[in-house]
Amino acid sequence: MRNIKLVLEYDGTNYHGWQTQPSLSTIQGSIEDSLAKLTKTSIQIIGAGRTDTGVHAEGQVANFHTDSQIPIVAFQKGLNAILPRDIVVCSATEVPPEFHARFSATSRRYRYTILNREYPSALLRHTGYCFPTKMDVSRTNNLCKILVGKHDFSSFQKAGSDRRNPVCEIYEAYWWKKEPYVYFEIEADAFLRGMVRAITGTVLKYMKCRDADAQILRILDAKDRAAAGMSVPAHGLSLIQVQYNKPAQLSG
């Protein structure tokens, strides 16, 4: 069996997230349907990150096993010819049998895009969240320094999540500005469901408070989702990169 790694880009606007769900349109389901047409067999793919409804990706990674002898380049070109136009295969490579898109990953990086002005964008309404309050990036960066490191992030986990271990290690979390946009990038070894959106919303809520540092610490210590701020909308979020310890590529 060959093990094929895909790097994917997609607009999640019209999908109910990554993971296959009965009678619902999902990214995983669309790719598996296209693979079935290409290979004439049923194939299950594994994604590095289970992005939620409306969340996008620039660097999602997936893998699947197949005994198909289709040339590796044909997986990229063939899938791109079949897939809906809002899902694109950026690359296809053959990787070692033990490579697992999810469990072999050492970190994932997300970016949240904020349109920081008083009026929204008609053209970019699906990829950026309009937030009219003027932002001080140096202030938001100071708040995010508190979150870097290994912590229990229960306060930023979506209610109803079935993940048992709420401890994650954030390697990097920073904000940067390119008028009229403000971007928040965060990289960690793992993420709880809804974690990035909850952190973003909480920082936006407290960034102008005099005791904002104390508030962020209080929220972390509370280990209670009700203690944190509201989650920002899904459409501003994108999975931009997945990192692996060792190069997975054998050929391409």
Every domain of the chain and the residues it spans: 2-103, 107-240
Would you call 128 helix, strand, or coil by DSSP? coil
Q: What angle do CA 17, 241, 97 make, to 5 degrees?
A: 85
Q: Using the predicted structure, report yes or no on whether residue 175 has a pLDDT greater than 70.
A: yes
pLDDT band at 131 (very low <50, low <70, confident <90, very high): very high
Averaged pLDDT, 112-129: 97
Q: For residue 245, what pLDDT is reported?
A: 80
Residue tagged active-site, from 52, 136, 211, 213: 52
pTM: 0.94
67 is catalytic: no
Would you call 31 helix, strand, or coil by DSSP? helix
**What percent of the chain clears pLDDT 90, i.e. is strictly above it?**
94
Averaged pLDDT, 237-251: 76
> Taking a C-beta distance cutoff of 8 angstroms, is the pair 224, 155 a contact?
yes
**What percent of the chain clears pLDDT 70, i.e. is strictly above it?**
97
Nearest C-alpha neighbor of 20 from the set 41, 51, 66, 65: 51
Q: Using the predicted structure, report yes or no on whether residue 251 has a pLDDT greater than 80.
A: no
Would you call 24 helix, strand, or coil by DSSP? coil
Q: Using the predicted structure, report yes or no on whether residue 248 has a pLDDT greater than 60.
A: no
Q: Using the predicted structure, report yes or no on whether residue 54 has a pLDDT greater than 50.
A: yes
Q: In Å, what is the CA distance from 189 to each residue of 141, 149, 160, 219?
A: 20, 10, 21, 21
Are 2-103 and 107-240 equal in CATH topology?
yes
Q: For residue 246, what pLDDT is reported?
A: 52
Pairing state between β 105-115 and 129-130: parallel
Query: Is the domain 107-240 a CATH 3.30.70.660 member?
Result: yes
Alpha carbon distance 189, 169 (integer Å)? 6
pLDDT band at 226 (very low <50, low <70, confident <90, very high): very high
Side-chain-facing half-sphere of 23: CA atoms under 13 Å: 0
DSSP string across 14-43: GSS-SS--TTS--HHHHHHHHHHHHHSS--
E strand or H helix at 95: strand 87-95
> Taking a C-beta distance cutoff of 8 angstroms, is the pair 31, 83 a contact?
yes
Q: Using the predicted structure, report yes or no on whether residue 75 has a pLDDT greater than 60.
A: yes
| CATH class of the structural domain 2-103 | alpha beta
Alpha carbon distance 228, 215 (integer Å)? 9
Alpha carbon distance 5, 46 (integer Å)? 9
> What average pLDDT does the chain have?
95
Q: Say which DSSP state 203 is in.
A: H
Alpha carbon distance 117, 119 (integer Å)? 6
